[in-house]
């Protein structure tokens, strides 16, 4: 074999190896660690087969109170992208997980750390905070997932982050984003139209987790059953709420799938108003298994209560 032939063989081999490596990069999945179901569902919509998603919690868990157990640490160690709500929702467990996972890619400020709350206008920001107020979120209410409109700016920002971390698949992510926005805006318009009878309706909530839902649908939250955030209401507090109901005349009491509903059931029976248990996130009940059906079911349950 001549030197020219040897060189040609090596050249072809190098090209073949390069093509194999390029194909491997294209086919590789981005490891994503989502703290709550809604962001896991969103990144699957945007990332499709290019992402491998692990969700740390389910819809029947209180997202404020999670243990940084070894199985979560193992998942966090291999994550290339960590999706969280932020706004102190995961403050009780996520910083510990980030510290002990030993993965610099998902530390605060790293490209692999994404907080959805940074891309929406937070509601319920308290004028001041002290310990007597209970589990108050100083930067604002973190339950942004109850308004579907919030998913549009978050989806755009998340797509930019996916492209930053996996630039070779940029066109794929951009196409997925365009498809999602078109479909999602149409769904928002449909849900908003069907929910028109809810506008101006007065509601009670067990936990102050529905500010964004109320802002979207025009519901009027007249009060909460909890005496302070995260604290189960006492009998005395419930009795006081019941007395206020005679003047405020709330049409229903709303709670979330993960919360204990004993207080809401008591109030529903005493005040003779419907109790509405909302899924609160993807997987909150057997009908709410996707982002789309989560909101479909939320609106349907509220309308049935009227």
Residue entry with tokens 């207080």: 263
Backbone dihedral region for residue 210 (phi beyond 0: left; psi -120 to 50: alpha; all else: beta) = alpha
**Checking DSSP bridges between strand 220-224 and strand 275-278, what pairing results, if any?**
unpaired
- The CA–CA distances, whole Å, from 121 to 41, 114, 153, 296 equal 21, 16, 10, 23
**Of the candidates 248, 214, 212, 231, the residue with the CA atom closest to the CA atom of residue 123:** 212
CB 141 within 8 A of CB 211: yes
| Token couple for 124 | 């319920």
Q: In the 8-state DSSP scheme, what is residue 233?
A: P
106, 107, 112, 114: CA torsion to nearest 10: 110
Q: What's the distance, Cα to Cα, between the start and end of the chain in Å? A: 86
CB 229 within 8 A of CB 210: no
Complete domains list, the chain, with CATH: 25-123+134-191 (3.40.50.1980), 196-305 (3.40.50.1980)
- The CA–CA distances, whole Å, from 6 to 14, 20, 171, 183 equal 12, 21, 38, 55
Counting every residue, how long is the chain? 306
The tens-digit pLDDT sequence of the chain (306 residues) is 564 454 454 444 444 444 434 444 446 799 999 999 999 999 999 999 999 999 999 999 988 888 888 999 999 999 999 999 999 999 999 999 999 999 999 999 999 999 999 999 999 998 766 555 555 668 999 999 999 999 999 999 999 999 999 999 999 999 999 999 999 999 999 999 999 999 999 999 999 999 999 999 999 999 999 887 778 888 888 999 999 999 999 999 999 999 888 999 999 999 999 999 999 999 999 999 999 999 999 999 999 999
User: What is the pTM (predicted TM-score) of this model?
Assistant: 0.88
């Amino acid at each position: 074999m001549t030197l020219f032939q040897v060189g040609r063989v090596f050249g072809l081999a190098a090209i073949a190896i390069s093509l194999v490596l390029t194909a491997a990069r294209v086919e590789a999945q981005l490891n994503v660690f989502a703290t709550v179901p809604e962001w896991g569902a969103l990144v699957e919509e945007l990332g499709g087969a290019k992402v491998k998603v692990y969700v740390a919690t389910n819809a029947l868990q209180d997202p404020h109170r999670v243990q940084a157990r070894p199985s979560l640490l193992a998942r966090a160690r291999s994550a290339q992208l960590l999706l969280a709500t932020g706004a102190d929702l995961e403050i009780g467990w996520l910083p510990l997980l980030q510290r002990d996972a030993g993965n610099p890619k998902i530390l605060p400020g790293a490209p692999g750390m994404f907080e959805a709350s940074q891309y929406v206008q937070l509601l319920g920001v308290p004028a001041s905070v002290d310990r007597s107020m209970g589990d108050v979120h100083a930067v604002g209410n973190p339950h942004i997932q109850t308004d579907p409109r919030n998913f549009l700016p978050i989806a755009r920002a998340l797509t930019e982050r996916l492209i930053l971390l996996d630039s070779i698949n940029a066109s794929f992510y951009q196409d997925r984003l365009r498809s999602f926005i078109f479909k999602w805006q149409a769904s928002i318009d449909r849900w908003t139209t069907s929910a028109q009878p809810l506008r101006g309706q007065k509601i009670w909530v067990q936990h102050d987790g529905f500010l964004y839902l109320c802002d979207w649908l025009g519901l009027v939250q007249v009060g909460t059953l909890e005496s302070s955030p995260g604290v189960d209401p006492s009998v005395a507090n419930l009795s006081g709420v019941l007395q206020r109901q005679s003047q405020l005349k709330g049409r229903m009491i709303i709670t979330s799938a993960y919360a204990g509903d004993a207080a809401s059931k008591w109030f529903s029976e005493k005040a003779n108003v419907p109790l509405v248990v909302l899924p609160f996130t993807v997987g909150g009940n057997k009908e709410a298994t996707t982002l789309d059906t989560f909101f479909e079911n939320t609106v349907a349950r509220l309308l049935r209560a009227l």
